[in-house]
Amino acid sequence: MIRIAPSLLSADFARLGPEVAEAEASGGDWIHVDVMDGHFVPNITLGPPIVKAVSLHTKLPLDVHLMIESPERYIPDFAAAGASVITVHAEACVHLHRVVHQIKELGLKASVAINPGTPASAVREVLEDVDMILVMTVNPGFGGQAFIPNTLRKITQIREWANEVNPDLLIEVDGGVSEDTAPLVVAAGADVLVAGNAVFGRSDRAAAIQGIREAAES
């Protein structure tokens, strides 16, 4: 089963309530929320109060992607704000195993992301511990960037490892996902597809989500 997670980064930030409600009504499975701190990535977005506010407008799981340094300092606040899934970056965690278990002890799904320049081996030792790996298919920081094809082989590698040690592992992809690239990432082994520009950049969000789903499942 493929899940589609519309990314709020491409939504109208002055209308997040209606935007998230429309993403749900249009067939989105999760709501992807991009948190950027201006240090780990060269952009600043939002924090726990906005996650809390968004949570009041949808029943869908909030998939909170922390592109921040020292994420362990903020995980309890994002959990209290209503996150269902929290993703931290392997590149931002000196004690990655500890941070993964911090998320799980709060009762949430734990996920680890890797940038395009980071090898799959960076997550090999926590594959048994996590619920999901997020393979970044662009360099994080901005919506609307072009998909990086070399990331596909990491999806395949992680799926192979997961088949041995954690068959239930979800693999999420984030960046440049569209009707064109969805079949590629699914063939490689991805099952959660984040889409920002490809959903919120179109006026008919239901058609956009359905188009990606049909492409992914074809």
Q: Which residues are annotated as a binding site for a divalent metal cation?
A: 32, 34, 65, 174
Is there binding between residue 174 and Zn ion (CB under 5 A)? yes
The token pair at 143 is 């919506």
The catalytic position among 37, 63, 131, 174 is: 174
Q: Residue 194 in 3-state DSSP?
A: strand
Q: Is 131 a catalytic residue?
A: no
Report the length, in residues, of the chain. 218
* Nearest to ligand DX5 of 43, 166 (CB atom): 43
Within 141-170, the residues that bind ligand DX5 by CB under 6 A are: 141-145
Shortest CA distance to 178 belongs to which of 126, 140, 121, 138?
Answer: 138
Is there binding between residue 159 and Zn ion (CB under 5 A)? no
Give kind and range of the element (H or E) at residue 24.
helix 16-25
From 18-26, 100-108, 162-170, 188-196, give the range in contact with ligand DX5 by CB under 6 A: 188-196
CA-CA-CA-CA torsion sign (172, 173, 179, 182):
negative
Is there binding between residue 174 and ligand DX5 (CB under 6 A)? yes
Is there binding between residue 194 and ligand DX5 (CB under 6 A)? yes
Q: 71: burial class by Cβ within 10 Å (0-12, 13-18, 19+)?
A: buried
Least separation in angstroms between CB 207 and Zn ion: 22
Write phi, then psi, for 47 (nearest 5 degrees): -130, -170
The catalytic position among 29, 34, 63, 131 is: 34
User: Which residues of the chain form contacts with ligand DX5 (CB under 6 A)?
Assistant: 7, 9-10, 32, 34, 65, 138, 140-145, 174-177, 194-198
